[in-house]
Structure 1
């Protein structure tokens, strides 16, 4: 499962990048594109870092970053959904994946916290 999530979070970043490549180039769009690329790539980078955590607390802290970045990615995708309706199908697919990654991350945090108490 862990290797699958490393690959899945990387694929999410790459799929967001591919979408961003299609967004028109302008100062206004570029600001949102930069935010989405940053947050979506941070999901995978921080999940990967969580796999090298030094302790359960460190693992949880790293996953909290993944949670924040996945949620932020979904936010930017929702913005794009409103301003680029012609890409709605692709954007909704990305939003779905972002929400799934977010749910998996929250569940992992909750499990780690529960195990930490035992």
Structure 2
């Protein structure tokens, strides 16, 4: 993978997602959020932005967040992003490299991974 395929200083939009807990006999407790990524070539930084969309049915309070990590390209044509508590390993996909599909895992428990796809925002 060459560094030229990443769109630097542009936003890669993630899906709308939710944190949900069913409590006290099945009552909904959760919130909806959206994430995005922005890569900066100069410092090899990646910013993971989380925006809270709705937390009207959440017992706590969550806040928008910008988490800064580092990225590098592996010898296996993958992009590796490292944040304080988790890592992401992804690959560019699509005819114009407009998607990045990631596997994500917590640093202390690599057994549980999940996937997330980000799409380059054309605006």
Q: How high is the TM-score relative to the length of structure 1? A: 0.27
Q: Give 1 or 2 for the bigger CA radius of gyration.
A: 2
**Which structure has more RCO (C-alpha within 8 Å, separation ≥ 6)?**
1
Q: How high is the TM-score relative to the length of structure 2? A: 0.26
Greater fraction helix:
1
Greater fraction strand:
2
